[in-house]
A and B are shown apart, each in its own frame.
Chain A
Amino acid sequence: MRIMKMNELRGIHKVFSLLILLLVWNFAFLLLDLFQSLWIAILLVDFVIIVFLLQQASLFVPPQRMSAFEKAVGVGFPIILLAAWEILVRGGILNEEWFPPPTRIMVAIWNLSMNYDQFTKTSLLGRFWLIPSILPEEGWGGLKRLFLESHVNATVMRILAGFVFGAIPGLVLGVFMGMNRIVRTMLDPVVSATYVVPKITILPLMMLIFDPFGETYQIVTVGIGVFFLVLINTMTGVRDIDPIFLEAGRNYGANRLQLFRHVIIPGALPFIFAGLRLGLGVGLVIVVAIEFLRGEKGIGYITWYYWEVMIVKNMYAGLIVIMVLGILTTFGLQRLERWVIPWQREERELPGTVQG
């Protein structure tokens, strides 16, 4: 007992000394006015000190609180990063023109959402402030029109439409290629050869085939990007099913359709979802690239436009909105996956699970 106490005291002592070290280290350079030239090196050492600090601190966390502690660190560190950014800019150490502080970016997002832009004839989220006047006049149709005109909607619709148009054929063909050897040997070289082409390079071709001023060519390009990833992953998923499950299915009387529904599809689902996740990422990249090049609306367009006119905080606003979109869609897909694949919910054994 005595020894334990001693160790704990020494540990707490360590945490405080590391904290003091962190403060002294930073203020010393600040006072010496060396932050301007050495800031990368100083922040790197800060990072190392923080790692040691948290490691020491984690020794005092009781085991049942450990996951809460880890969550706090996971949320806390990005906040520290943002705060450091804010402080470095406000302190005149980072260039404000190129790296506007987070608070100013938030204000920019607010302004882009609340103000009507004469040039693009919309705002980030549409003119939702018109809802009270339009709803009685035009009803739900007017509400829809208001929502559809926004930048966010333009991008989201392109991603979703492309995602659906790519994922469904990818899924169907992937299952066929996974199950049928002849189909696979026929199509595999074609798929492998076209897969390596960066999908954005087919944009000119798509503009030849479809109306170059419409939405179709954009959606098709996104769809093709999604298609290949879903196709290849679905095929792998189907082929990865242990043959013993197919044997068991057949031996217990499953016909073709039942085998498909009860064995092949659920067996391939983890891979299918991996394909969907990758497809979503690629879809985002392609949408933004198209909006950079050709857009008249959309988050990619905003980001590019405000770079051209050098309103950098608005450019950052576009970046942040894209990031939020990416996080939301990925999160949504994750929730869907957990709901569709409940047997994968817990990776490891629960503490309460009984062994028999």
Chain B
Amino acid sequence: MALKIIAKNVTKVFPSPRGWIVALKDFNVEVREGEFLCIVGPSGCGKSTFLRILAGLIPPSSGEVCIIPGDRSGSKPINNIIFQEYAIFPWKTVKDNVAFGLQMRGVARNERDTIVLEWIQRVGLSKFANSYPHQLSGGMKQRVSIARAFANDPEVLLMDEPLGALDAQTRAVLQEELIRIWEADKKTVVYITHGIEEAVLLGDRIALMTAHPGTNKAFFDVNFQRPRDIKLTRTAQFGELCYSIWESLETEVRQAMEGQS
């Protein structure tokens, strides 16, 4: 299939009181149209930085990123990020949070309401449409965040450890919901996580990153059949793939831990 995202030799350096810090070094990745790519790496390897560069929130220091736009009409956005749970606006109701992207690009109120209510229903929050985030649990907040991104209908979805702040049980439930929602219309996704099992469960392909400064370590294909669900994690092939990824990642994690101490 056609390429959707191309990142070539992306490098990012940050100024710090002690001089320049290299967060990301010559990182390369290509994502095909409709592919679910997971980027896995030890903490502090610059994977969130890469996502922000991809989203256009910060410029790369050198190298190139490119999201090839499709031929869609109107003002539909190229990319949207699903952040961690606290990134939905506490001062907006569930409905207004989900409507945010649509409202910003001037979608008419009637049309907006239809789309928003549909997505609120799809993530199971119909009863809470007029609640404020502080009245919701962590899992529900993250559903709002997911609905906000999908309702805005971007060409590419960027997810920055969206389930990282949740407890294990809630995370398992939301992983399945995410698979279900994504498999319905298969958008191109770049998914940042440090959970290997999560990456194998969700992704079509996994890009492994080295410890600081972050660069390419390896790629793994995940060829399990779709539609998937949590049962997949009980198979032997799943365990084997997770283990071989872990073998590759372990040295990097150890290095990252030593770097922090």
A positions within 8 Å CB-CB of B: 242, 244-245, 247-248, 250-255, 258, 262-263, 266-267, 269, 341-343, 346, 349-350, 353-356
Known A-B contacts: A251-B80, A343-B132, A356-B136. Give 10 more (CB < 8 A). A247-B57, A248-B89, A250-B57, A252-B77, A252-B104, A252-B148, A253-B105, A258-B104, A266-B92, A343-B134
Closest 6 A-B residue pairs measured CB to CB? A266-B91, A252-B101, A253-B104, A343-B132, A355-B137, A244-B87
Q: Inside 8 A of A247's CB, which chain B residues have their CB?
A: 52, 57, 81, 83, 87
| Contact flag A253-B77 (CB < 8 Å), given A242-B86, A343-B91 | yes
B90 touches which one: A251, A255, A343, A356 (CB < 8 A)? A343
| Contact flag A263-B89 (CB < 8 Å), given A252-B80, A343-B134 | yes
B221 to chain A, nearest CB (A): 30
- C-alpha spacing A341/B90, complex, angstroms: 10
Decide if A266 touches B132 in the complex (CB within 8 Å): no
| Contact flag A350-B152 (CB < 8 Å), given A252-B80, A269-B91, A341-B91 | no
B residues 35-88 in Cβ contact with A at 8 Å: 52, 55, 57, 77, 79-81, 83-84, 86-88
A7 to chain B, nearest CB (A): 38
Per-residue interface assignment for chain B, residues 101 to 114, with 1 indicating a CB less than 8 Å from any chain A CB and 0 otherwise: 10011000000000
Query: Does any Cβ of A come within 8 Å of B164's Cβ?
Result: no
| Contact flag A244-B148 (CB < 8 Å), given A343-B134, A356-B139 | no
- C-alpha spacing A242/B228, complex, angstroms: 36
Decide if B89 touches A245 in the complex (CB within 8 Å): yes
Query: Does any Cβ of A come within 8 Å of B140's Cβ?
Result: yes
- C-alpha spacing A253/B139, complex, angstroms: 25
B135 touches which one: A251, A258, A353 (CB < 8 A)? A353
Query: Does any Cβ of A come within 8 Å of B100's Cβ?
Result: yes
B178 to chain A, nearest CB (A): 16
- C-alpha spacing A254/B127, complex, angstroms: 28
- C-alpha spacing A139/B86, complex, angstroms: 58
Decide if A267 touches B91 in the complex (CB within 8 Å): yes
- C-alpha spacing A349/B132, complex, angstroms: 11
- C-alpha spacing A253/B135, complex, angstroms: 26
- C-alpha spacing A247/B89, complex, angstroms: 12
Decide if B137 touches A266 in the complex (CB within 8 Å): no
B positions within 8 Å CB-CB of A: 52, 55, 57, 77, 79-81, 83-84, 86-92, 100-101, 104-105, 124, 127, 132-137, 139-140, 148, 152
Q: Inside 8 A of B124's CB, which chain A residues have their CB?
A: 356
Closest to B55 in A: A251
Q: Inside 8 A of A353's CB, which chain B residues have their CB?
A: 135
Decide if B87 touches A252 in the complex (CB within 8 Å): no
Q: List 7 A-B contacts (CB under 8 A).
A: A245-B89, A248-B81, A250-B57, A251-B57, A258-B104, A343-B133, A346-B134
Q: Inside 8 A of A242's CB, which chain B residues have their CB?
A: 86
Decide if A253 touches B52 in the complex (CB within 8 Å): no
- C-alpha spacing A241/B40, complex, angstroms: 29
Q: Inside 8 A of A269's CB, which chain B residues have their CB?
A: 91
B140 touches which one: A266, A350, A356 (CB < 8 A)? A356
Decide if A245 touches B140 in the complex (CB within 8 Å): no
Closest to A347 in B: B134
Closest to B58 in A: A247
A253 touches which one: B88, B90, B101 (CB < 8 A)? B101
Decide if A245 touches B87 in the complex (CB within 8 Å): yes
Closest to A345 in B: B132
Q: Inside 8 A of A262's CB, which chain B residues have their CB?
A: 89, 92, 100, 104
Q: Inside 8 A of A250's CB, which chain B residues have their CB?
A: 57
Closest to A353 in B: B135
Decide if A248 touches B104 in the complex (CB within 8 Å): no
| Contact flag A244-B104 (CB < 8 Å), given A269-B91, A355-B137 | no
Most buried by A among B77, B104, B105: B104
- C-alpha spacing A346/B134, complex, angstroms: 9
Q: Inside 8 A of B101's CB, which chain A residues have their CB?
A: 252-253
A144 to chain B, nearest CB (A): 39
| Contact flag A254-B86 (CB < 8 Å), given A247-B57, A267-B91, A343-B91 | no
Q: Inside 8 A of B140's CB, which chain A residues have their CB?
A: 356
Decide if A244 touches B132 in the complex (CB within 8 Å): no
Closest to A270 in B: B91
Q: Inside 8 A of B52's CB, which chain A residues have their CB?
A: 247
- C-alpha spacing A254/B84, complex, angstroms: 19
Q: Inside 8 A of A343's CB, which chain B residues have their CB?
A: 90-92, 132-134
B33 to chain A, nearest CB (A): 21
- C-alpha spacing A341/B87, complex, angstroms: 18
A244 touches which one: B83, B91, B92 (CB < 8 A)? B83
Closest to A343 in B: B132
Q: Inside 8 A of A356's CB, which chain B residues have their CB?
A: 124, 136-137, 139-140
Q: Inside 8 A of B105's CB, which chain A residues have their CB?
A: 253
- C-alpha spacing A355/B140, complex, angstroms: 8
Decide if A248 touches B87 in the complex (CB within 8 Å): yes
